[in-house]
Amino acid sequence: MEKTQNPDGIGFMKMHGAGNDFVVIDSRGRGAVVTPALAKALGDRNRGVGFDQLAEIRDVDGADFELDFWNSDGSRAGACGNATRCVSDYVMRGLGLDAVSLVTMRGGLQAVRQPDGRVSVNMGAPQLDWAEVPLSRAVDTLHLPLAGDPVAVGMGNPHCVFFVADAEAVDLPSVGPVWEHDPLFPQRTNVEFASVLGPDHLRMRVWERGAGITLACGSGACATAVAAHLRGLTGRKVTLDLDGGVLEIDWRADGVWMTGPVAHVFDGWLSADFVASHL
């Protein structure tokens, strides 16, 4: 990313993975610059840039880079799989590598580029205990005591997965915010609705915590694949059709691997006035 513009402003990249779109700020060499106010202002699609999540690249010891994530409402996100894949591709190109290590709130992760140009990331082991998701009380995470019999899975952020006959028929704008704010989820939750298309094929739609309806959600795809396997609906390797594209999930012994497309759309520059007014 070119950094020869006004040094008082901030350069950024716009990326997406299967339609899940991000603003990415490379803060290596200067320290973190993103604040809740700046994230919220940037997330406004009319007055800012607009994104599902914001990712900030930072320096870290013991890995190639570190990532912090923000939702479009200015809240922090614990994980963002599609952004992790996109940023990993950017860093790999800069370093001339086909594999990188990184650190997020989930801990240490690995990403690799596939021969066809797609990028895979190991999202780590799923969190299946109620306290790890987290939930507000001890319940069976495989059968939550909620209407619709959903599954709770943590992937660095909480997920509530519903299996339905037809994901297309779900009224996401109405039901998404209701489940996001259910008292069983003290940190709110992402909400996925999935229907089974085959023994290793799911159709999934998502309402993301702090962002609303998005075209794809990497951690949500991972959580849905894990939930489907635990319910006996699929194997451990699953293809998911999302509104914005296709992701492949493979729950291996070393973690949940997600593979999908990456796109670096454009580079931009935030004016010094915009940055100063939202710090």
Q: Which residues are catalytic?
A: 80, 217
* Strands 212-214 vs 255-260: parallel, antiparallel or unpaired: unpaired
Percent of the chain with pLDDT over 70: 97
User: Whose CA is closest to 240, among 195, 207, 191, 209?
Assistant: 195
* pLDDT for res 231: 98
User: Residue 101 has which token pair?
Assistant: 């290590």
Which domains, and CATH codes, for the chain? Answer: 10-122+262-276 (3.10.310.10), 151-253 (3.10.310.10)
pTM equals 0.92
Q: How far is residue 32 CA from its own chain's centroid?
A: 20
pLDDT along the chain (279 residues), means of 10: 60 96 96 93 95 96 96 91 96 97 93 97 97 98 98 97 98 97 98 97 97 95 98 98 97 98 96 87
Q: What helix, strand, coil percent values describe the chain, rounded to 5?
A: 20, 40, 45
